[in-house]
């Protein structure tokens, strides 16, 4: 298990002395404590080895739901169609497998509804369409996103002027 701590990546195991645990104790750290310490907030603490070090993978994950909602404003779409569109546009999602849990979460939250329709090319397809709550959530996100995006752009531009 790797944990990003400052600028250094440390390899943790259940026998590694953890902050607040005496190093001379001969026993293993209890699993609950081990997992608690690893889940403590830190700089980019969710990053895993091999991920995009600049954090774009985390940004993509954070906006994927809103991108799905935005695509559904054009009309209903089925899962593979959404996956293809999101993949073609800057790889918002990594694979089709990451999309379906996201769609299930949107459905549970009442932001999308589904219907089954027959397909001429195989089994029936589940089509997703936006609900009124989904439209409201997207509108709210758009307002917040524009402010956030402009702020980040402003900060990045300041850094490049030096």
Tell me the three-class secondary structure of the chain, residue by residue: CEEEECCEEEECCCCCCCCCCCCCCCCCCCHHHHHHHHCCCCCCCCCCCCCCCCCHHHHHHHHHHHHHHHHHCCCCEEHHHHHHHHHHCCCCCCCHHHHHHHHHHHHHCCCEEEEEEEECCEEEEEEEEECHHHHHHHHHHHHHHHHHHHHHHHHHHHHHCC
Q: What confidence tier does 42 reach under pLDDT thresholds 50, 70, 90?
A: very low
Residue 82 pLDDT > 50: yes
Instruction: Work out the pLDDT band at 15, boundaries 50, 70, 90.
Output: low
Domain boundaries, given as residue ranges, for the chain? 2-38, 56-160
Q: For the residues 118-144, what does the mean pLDDT come to?
A: 95
Q: What is the mean pLDDT of residues 91-118?
A: 92
Contact 66, 145 (CB under 8 A): yes
pLDDT score for 4: 47
Q: What is the CATH number assigned to the segment(s) 56-160? A: 1.10.10.10
Contacts of 12 (CB under 8 A, 6+ apart): 1, 2, 3, 18, 34, 37, 38
Residues 19-55 as b or e (16 or more Cβ within 10 Å = b): eeeeeeeeeebeeeebeebeeeeeeeeebeeeeeeee
Predicted confidence band of residue 13 (pLDDT cuts 50, 70, 90): low
Closest CA to 82 of 51, 104, 55: 104
- Kindly indicate the confidence band of residue 96, based on its pLDDT and cuts at 50, 70 and 90: confident
pTM recorded for the entire structure: 0.64
Listed range (8-17, 48-57, 148-157) with the worst mean pLDDT = 8-17
């Amino acid at each position: 298990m790797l944990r990003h701590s400052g600028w250094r990546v440390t390899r943790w195991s259940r026998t590694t002395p953890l902050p607040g645990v005496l190093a001379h104790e001969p026993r293993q750290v209890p699993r609950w404590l081990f997992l608690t310490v690893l889940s403590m907030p830190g700089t980019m603490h969710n990053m895993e080895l091999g991920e995009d070090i600049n954090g774009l993978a985390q940004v993509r994950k954070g906006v994927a739901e809103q991108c799905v909602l935005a695509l559904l404003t054009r009309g209903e779409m089925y899962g593979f169609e959404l996956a293809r569109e999101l993949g073609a546009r800057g790889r918002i999602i990594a694979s089709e497998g990451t999309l379906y849990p996201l769609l299930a979460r949107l459905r549970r939250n009442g932001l999308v509804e589904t219907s089954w329709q027959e397909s001429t090319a195989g089994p029936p397809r589940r089509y997703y369409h936006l609900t009124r709550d989904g439209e409201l959530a997207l509108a709210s996100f758009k307002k917040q996103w524009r402010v956030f995006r402009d702020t980040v752009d402003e900060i990045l531009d300041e850094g490049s002027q030096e």
